[in-house]
Structure 1
Amino acid sequence: MKRVCIIPCGAKKIWDVQPEAGSQPANLVYLSPLHQRTKSYAQTFFSDWLIISAKHGFLKADEIIHENYDVAFGIPHADQMTREGLSEQFHEKHLTAYDELVILGGKKYRKVIDPLLLPHQTAIYPLAPYKGIGYMLQALKQAVETKVELPPHI
């Protein structure tokens, strides 16, 4: 079974602490605790992982982001990636090749990801049972420390 992990970006970005940072790879842009923990989890358990951004869509770690932005799923914004744009990226970046997509985000990501799935694909949301970011951070940390993946939650 071919799997990929999709992690959320995060509101706090490198330019918030280093305004002069200039263009950066996506891997270095996002600084929020949730992003850092989900990245650590993705790197521990997956050979393939991407970041999902409301502005840029599906990002590989080495893709360059040129400037700060404040766009989030669930909040209407002119710069928000359209469903059509996400669907194009889903195919262009070969996400159709995966059988299982493990999404390390909350409920709002279901509305974004689920409509993109092909019939052979399953989306897993292991953080869905956790009520609150503190519990999510704790669960991710423990999973990485113990090298035991979070149980699947569909």
Structure 2
Amino acid sequence: MTTLAIIPCGNKKIWDREGEIGPVFARDAYIGTFHRLCRAYAETFYPQWVILSAKHGFLQPEDTVPGPYNLSFSHKSDDIIPMQSLAEQVQRKRLNDFQHLVVLTGKKYKPIVEKSFGPGHDIEMPLLGSRGIGEMQQKLKQAVSEGRPL
């Protein structure tokens, strides 16, 4: 079974540190601790992973992020990528080829992933049930250091 890991983007971005850097690959855009731990986990256990961004949708590591933004799926904003666009990206980027999805986020992302992928996908969310970001980070760090997926 082919697995795709889906990781969150994050509030801290490369432009916070290097303001005038310009467009960067998605893999270099997000620099926050939680994102970096999710990415390390995804890279350790799953060769295929994407970043889910409220502005840009599903970003493959080599996709370009043009510049800084501050947007979350929990914001109320017209700038949030529409569900229809997410579903189109899933088709266009052939993400629907993956039957098993490992989503490294909290519960607020579950309906977004379910709606954009549609039925027929096995969605695993190993961080659900954590008591907050600190516990999530601890679980990710431990899984990577021990070489055992959650």
Q: TM-score range by the shorter chain?
A: over 0.9
Gaps of 5+ in 1: none
CA contact (8 A) 2:4 2:102 kept: yes
In 2, Cα distance between the equivalents of 1:120 and 1:130? 26
The answer for the alignment partner of 1:148 in structure 2 is: 148
Unpaired runs of 5+ residues, structure 2, are: none
> For residue 81 of structure 1, what is the aligned residue in structure 2?
81
Residues 46-70 of structure 1, C-alpha deviations (whole Å, 9 max, x = no match): 0100000000000010111111001
| Matched AA of 1:95 | L
> Hey, what does 1:64 align to over in structure 2?
64
**Mapping of 1:28-107 within 5 angstroms?**
28-107=28-107
**1:36-90 superposed Cα distances (whole Å, 9 cap, x missing partner):** 0000000000010000000000001011111100110021112110000000001
TM-score scaled by structure 1? Answer: 0.95
- The TM-score with structure 2 as length reference comes to 0.97
Residue pair 2:102, 2:124 contacting (<8 A) in 1 also: yes
- Describe the SS at the equivalent of 2:87: helix
Runs of 4+ in 1 over 6 A off after TM superposition: none
Please provide the CA RMSD for this pair. 0.9
For 1:2, the equivalent position in structure 2 comes to: 2
Cα deviation for residue 117 of structure 1 reads 3.1
Q: State how many pairs are aligned.
A: 150
1:24 paired to 2:27: no
Shift of 1:21: 1.1
Q: Percent identity?
A: 39
Deviates more, 1:3-12 or 1:90-99: 90-99
Name the CA distance, whole Å, in 2 between partners of 1:76 and 1:128: 24
Distance 2:79 2:107 in 1: 21
Structure 2 CA distance, aligned partners of 1:136 and 1:73?
A: 19
- Report SS of the residue matched to 1:21: coil
Matched residues in 2 for 1:82 and 1:49: separation? Answer: 21
